[in-house]
Amino acid sequence: MRNLTILLLASLTTFAACSNDKTRAPGSAGVDPLPADQYPKVEAAGGLSPYLVISGANVTPGTDTKPMSITSAVRSTWDKNVLNVQYRYFFFDEKGTPLNPDPDWRFAKLPPRSQVFMEGFAPDTNARDWRLQIRPAQ
């Protein structure tokens, strides 16, 4: 019984010492199991995935004087109503650094079973990659 008491006191002392430790690092985030090169070019957020299809993106690479531009063909597969959505393009340099970390949202209406073309233009000539994000209009 005495050994149990000593063990319990030692545990409590260790716990008290750990909880007062001001040098401990904060909890770390986990590693994303989805590699960056496998992240989708077009993200349909807010439950839109079942109602949108992408039939292609026309990418005009940038030059020394003209930034990259993208036109993506997006079609609604929903029969019932117009889908009111917002979209934005992110552009990245050759290292994957965002050139426009918080781009403005643009509004689009997708009539039932109809295709629209969403356009984006890089903020400068350093863009080498892109991503399109679509969400329900807010």
pTM for this model (two decimals): 0.76
Give the CATH number of domain 39-136; options: 2.60.40.3230, 3.90.1150.10, 3.40.50.720, 2.70.98.10.
Answer: 2.60.40.3230
SS (H, E, C) 1-27: CHHHHHHHHHHHHHHHHHHCCCCCCCC
- The 10 Å Cβ neighbour count of residue 16 is 10
Residue type, 45: A
Per-residue pLDDT of the chain in tens (138 residues, 90 and over written 9): 555 555 445 555 555 555 566 777 788 888 888 777 777 899 999 999 999 999 889 999 999 999 999 999 999 999 999 999 999 999 999 999 999 999 999 999 999 999 999 999 999 999 999 999 999 999
Residue 23 amino acid letter:
T
Domain locations in the chain as residue ranges:
39-136
